[in-house]
Each structure stands twice: as C-alpha cells, then as structure tokens.
Structure 1
C-alpha cells in the first residue's frame, strides 16, 4: 500500500467493487458467455480474452465477446452483426448467468478480513458494481458477503455506469456521506476514474481485472495485494 492514510477518523464509509475485487468471477463469465455463443452457433471465447473485457457492464462484455469471435471471419462487419445479434445474445446470457451465478467463482483470499476491518473501523459499507443488480445480490448472498453491506447497487441502478462518477455520487448520497470521506475500493481504471471524478479517495487491489493493463499504472491513492492489508492499516 502507498500514500493513503487509513486513520480511522479519515473515512465514514467505503464503497467496494465486486468482480475482480471481492470475487473472482471469471469462471462464471466464461461459462455463461460460451453457453450463449453456443446457442448462437458461434465459437467459444477463451478466458484470457474474457478477462480483458470485464469491468464495463454486461452489455459491453456481451458485445465484446460477439465481436471477438466473429472478427476473424467477418472483419469490419463483425461490429454491425454483433449489434444485430445483441438482443438475442443478451436474453441467452441472462438465462445462463442466472443459472451458473456463483458456481464457477470464488471469494479472493483476505476479502473477509478486509471487510471485517473496515466495519471494525466504524465504516458503513456499500457494494457498487457494473454487474446487473439481479446478478450481484444473489452472488453476494451465495458467497456469504451480503451481510457486510448496507446497500448494493448494480450497473442498472443509475443512468450511467463506472467510470462515470454518477454511481459513486449517488451511492454517497444514499449513504449520507461526503465523497471526500468515502473510500472507493476497486480493481481497475474504471473504479479509479470514477472515484477521481467523484472526489473519493481510491485504493485498488493488484489481482483483479484491469482490461489487461498493469493496475499499478493507474492513478490511485494506494494499492493492496489483499483486502486483508486494510486490517493491518
């Protein structure tokens, strides 16, 4: 960790991202996307490629996967065809994701200790993710994380998603806390950019999904290799 102070009096609340921050959900994404693609008679996409697509919401993930598997044969036309197939793809993806949600995912080591530490410091906690709320809440419950959070907001809760600051500002408003006293804990540039624009301090984990880019190159106030480091801080 660097630069940011975790003195208990500095923060009133923390907003915590879900995918890549608390839970490794790459297996759920891969299972759902590849079942969706099979329904559309399209080839599968490899997990390494999926990892680079995660973080901007399910709509972006689905469109990116469609373009990825069609581009080798359809070239520039892949984007247009992906848009044409999107509604069917979205329906099949929802069907499969709800069926597998949590079955191919695992809570990262240190997450429970980190959340307990934040609570022990008197911070109120909210989960804010670009994952649809109907996916996020069952996943938190499945992994035993739901009891830590007063509020859970998915990517469909507000008009815009991270990296737009609106979801963070609305979450701070719902918590009744000032952005400057509300810590954002995430795994990617989406979280950091949203936090910077909203006026929230931000710490990123080093193990998550950052679109295939080095996370330590992101403008953030600190980095942790495990949320358990928040306990030490």
Structure 2
C-alpha cells in the first residue's frame, strides 16, 4: 500500500516535547501539603500523567489516601500552584527545536494537541520557545473528549484542513497511538516519554524515534 507523505503533524506536549514531571511534582506536592496530605514522588507521577489534569489529581488523591470529596479543593489548589511555577521545573527534550524546525522546513503544518488544560499548555509553549512553531494549540478542555479518544485528532485535522491519512501524530504514549489508530493517522512515538510507566516499544505504532530531530529521517525512510 502506498503511503502518501504527511501534510501536517499533530504533536503531543508532556513527555514528547517537554519533560514536565518536575512541574507536576512541585505543584502536586504543594497541593497535597495545603490539604494536609502526604507527598508523592516522581515515579508515581510518571505512571499517572497523560490522561488530563482531572485524572491526575483524582489518582494522586487516591494514591496518598485522600478522600474523593477533596477533589474540588485539590483542583483549585493545583491550578494556583501549577500556574505559579508553569515551566520553571520543566526542560525541553534534546532535539525538539531542531525537529520542529525541520518539520516546518519540510512544509508540514503543525498543531500541538495535549490532554493538559489549554490554559496551562499555552504559557508553557511560550516559556519554552515553542509557540511559534504551531498554528494552533488544543488542550484537554478544547473538545468534549480527550485522547485516547480520536475526537481531538479529528478536530485538529479539521482545523488544519488536512485528512487523517495525510496527518502524522507524534507522541510518547499509548494514548497517542490509540487515538491515532482510531482516527486513521500514522503515529510515531518517542522512546523517552512517560507512557504510564510501561515500555513504549510495546505500544503498536508505525515507528519509534529517540528524538524529534529524527522524525524527518524516519519519514524519508521506506515504509
């Protein structure tokens, strides 16, 4: 089957472009301290991230023995603390800037699609010098459903004016791969992300790269 080259790419944020576990750890532990609950650690957070802030907070509360009824207070505290430090304890992964520049130079239109709330995603992209590469940014609150549901990917394709078959998804987890498969997009996963604590190479995907800078070469290789 002939694979047509992509016209656009939908790029995930946390675990794909930016290592944000440091931000999550600080904001979550400040939230927990405010609620009088014990702290959590980085390995636990790595397993829980990727399904949106609501899922993350509920999961962390359950992990430390907090009552589910604390969710509203926890969400309010988390927003306050996360916005105060957004990007301060996060780092770009190697090759991200080079990869995005190369994809743009190859003529691909780019959208950032993340389960992180849009109000958190936009400032982070700005702070890390990534915002200018993307025509649009869609967070987990942009549509009725989040990844791994295909709806956000289909909506992103609509926004770009491309078809799923001509749109590449770049992510780090089974969420991205499942959504891409259901939407009809090809998907390449980075090998360094979070993927809920599971080996990413076990995820059905079209390919794997060790850096975003490797994506153009992967696209140019025989299918």
Deviation at 1:232? Answer: 3.3
The alpha carbon displacement at 1:231 in A equals 3.8
TM-superposed CA distance for 1:26, in Å, is: 0.2
**Residues 27 and 105 of structure 1 are in contact (CA less than 8 Å); yes or no, is this contact kept in structure 2?**
yes
Residue 177 of structure 2: aligned partner? 192
2:58 is matched with: 63
What are the ranges of 5 or more consecutive residues in structure 1 without an aligned counterpart? 71-77
| Aligned mates of 2:102, 2:206 — CA distance in 1 | 19
User: Within the alignment, does 1:111 sit opposite 2:96 as a pair?
Assistant: yes
Q: Is the 8 A contact 1:24 1:105 kept in 2?
A: yes
- Report the counterpart of residue 89 of structure 1 in structure 2: 74
Q: Deviations over 1:169-209 (max 9, x none)?
A: 00000100000000000000000000000000000000001
For normalisation by structure 1, the TM-score amounts to: 0.91
SS of equivalent residue, structure 1 residue 184 = strand
Contact 1:113 1:231 in 2 (8 A): no
- Answering whether residue 27 of structure 2 is matched by residue 32 of structure 1, we say yes
User: What is the root-mean-square deviation in Å for CA atoms of aligned residues?
Assistant: 1.2
Once the two structures are TM-superposed, the CA of residue 229 in structure 1 deviates from its matched residue by 0.7
CA offsets per residue over residues 38-76 of structure 1, 9 Å max, x none? 000000001110000000000000001000011xxxxxx
Is 1:150 equivalent to 2:145 in the alignment? Answer: no
SS state at 1:228 partner: helix
Paired position in structure 2 for 1:74: none
Aligned to 2:156: 171
Assess if the C-alpha contact under 8 Å between 1:58 and 1:131 holds in 2. Answer: yes
Q: Which residue of 1 aligns with 2:14?
A: 19
Count of residue correspondences: 217
In structure 1, distance between residues paired with 2:108 and 2:213: 15
Q: TM-score, normalised by structure 2?
A: 0.95
Q: Distance in 1 between matches of 2:8 and 2:217?
A: 18
Q: Does 1:131 align with 2:122?
A: no
User: Is contact 1:107-1:143 (8 Å) kept?
Assistant: yes
In the alignment, structure 2 segments of 5+ residues that lack a partner are: 219-223
Q: Return the alpha-carbon distance in structure 1 between the equivalents of residues 213 and 144 of structure 2.
A: 33
Following the alignment from structure 1 to structure 2, what is the Cα–Cα distance between the partners of residues 231 and 27? 29
Q: Distance in 1 between matches of 2:193 and 2:99?
A: 16
Q: Tell whether the 8 Å contact from 1:55 to 1:211 is kept in structure 2 after alignment.
A: yes
Task: Give the Å deviation of 1:121.
Answer: 1.0
